[in-house]
Amino acid sequence: MYGSENNREDSERTAFRRAEKNYKLYYDTNASKNKKKKKPKPVDLTEVLDFRSILECHDRNGELPPFVNVIHDKFSSPVFSLQNRPGFYFIPGALSIEKQCSLIRESLIDFPQPPNRTNHNAIYGPIHNLFDEAKEGKVLVEEYSPDGSPKLGPDCDYQDGKRWKFVTEKEELLRKGKSVPASALLRKLRWSTLGLQFNWSRRNYDVSLPHNKIPEALCDLAKELAKPAMPAGVEFQPEGAIVNYFGLGDTLGGHLDDMEADWSKPIVSLSLGCKAIFLLGGKTREDPPLAMFLRSGDVVLMAGEARECFHGVPRIFTDEKNAEIDHLQAQLSHEDDLCFLKYIQTSRININIRQVF
């Protein structure tokens, strides 16, 4: 392919990029020409740190790898830290199965509701009830205002004389113009923001954007989980959260979260659904990152020096063996929950909660 020489050099320039490339999903192009049968390239996972097996081993015989420390608290799960990454904490299986399921439901039904913004806002404006509309097979269509009025209300309605709305498939057949199935939009939902809204193009929090407070239950959960990374007697104040949605092949490139005022405060990061690989780098992209598994129910805290460390998610596993979501399959087996199960079987959701000021 043209330009591949340069691209290859570029994509392998730093240790972080090389690790991302190493774990990213690639397909064996030689294995089969038939697209339906394309197989993921095998990847060597022997170097990936597995805090669940570290926990099991520690519970069995009290042993820990030399670079891992553990804090035990009578009331909660053990919290692991790493000797060479101060401010980083890993709490394997911190969320109960019930909590995981309620957070998955909320992440799909409630969190993407306006005034919370999603990646779809820029193109379609605010979208209500995306998950339910997708379940009902609805289609989003572009509609012109009857009198050509440019804008009717502050919330949604017509922008430049047009707006998007959901119709049934049958209704869609009778129309001309642009349309997109709700199910396709659900698959392409990549993020939503809770509490203070993050402006991705300006890379800052835009306090002037309308917003709701972070739901109380999530706020209380984050305050509790943040404790190991907080000074005694100081309470974490959740003010904003980003919900990331990952499908097969989706990645989160190496980055720093540097838009919050006080880096001594942790980012509280919850994993739901399919297992992923998380890369924790150092202060530059040249530092070789540590790879670790993130499973549904795991919680990561990044505070202090760890906030200066590049990190990202190069891979999620959606195959039955590696996704490790059996417990969710069982818990979401009720008829009303099958829609959530279907989504989460091939997806991962990450909720990361921040104190902004």
Cα 118 to Cα 332: distance, rounded to the nearest angstrom: 25
42 and 283 Cβ atoms separated by less than 8 Å? no
Answer with the entry of Mn ion, ligand OGA, none that 252 interacts with (C-beta below 5 to 8 A by kind): ligand OGA
Nearest one of 196, 301, 191, 209 to 239, comparing CA atoms: 196
Residue 263 engages ligand OGA in binding (rule: CB under 6 A): no
* Cα 273 to Cα 59: distance, rounded to the nearest angstrom: 25
Segment contacting Mn ion by CB under 5 A, of 30-38, 123-131, 172-180, 256-264: 256-264
Judge contact between 276 and 293, C-beta under 8 A. Answer: yes
Q: Which does 278 bind (CB under 5 to 8 A by kind): ligand OGA, Mn ion, none?
A: ligand OGA
DSSP codes joined into one string, 291-337: EEEE-TT-EEEE-GGGGGS-EEEEEE--SHHHH--HHHHHHT-SGGG
How far is Cα 274 from Cα 348, in angstroms, rounded to an integer?
5
**Is residue 294 involved in binding ligand OGA (CB under 6 A)?**
yes
**Count of residues that bind Mn ion according to CB under 5 A:** 1
Q: Quick one: which of 142, 257, 260, 337 contacts Mn ion (CB under 5 A)?
A: 257
CB of 256 to ligand OGA, least distance (A): 9
CB-based closest residue to Mn ion: 257
Give residues 197-216 in contact with ligand OGA (rule: CB under 6 A).
none
Nearer to ligand OGA, 271 or 331 (CB): 271
Is 327 annotated in a binding site? The answer is: no
Q: Is 257 annotated as a binding residue?
A: yes
Instruction: Estimate to the nearest angstrom the gap between the alpha carbon of 153 and the chain centroid.
Output: 32
Furthest-apart CA atoms within the chain: distance in Å: 75
| Alpha carbon 65 to chain centroid, angstroms | 29
Footprint (CB under 6 A) of ligand OGA, residues 295-324: 311, 313
Query: In the complex, what is the shortest distance from the CB of residue 194 to ligand OGA, in angstroms, rounded to a whole number?
Result: 12
Q: Least separation, in Å, of the C-beta of 311 and Mn ion? A: 6
Site of interaction with Mn ion (CB under 5 A):
257
- Contact residues: ligand OGA, CB under 6 A: 242, 244, 252, 257, 269, 271, 278, 294, 311, 313, 350, 352
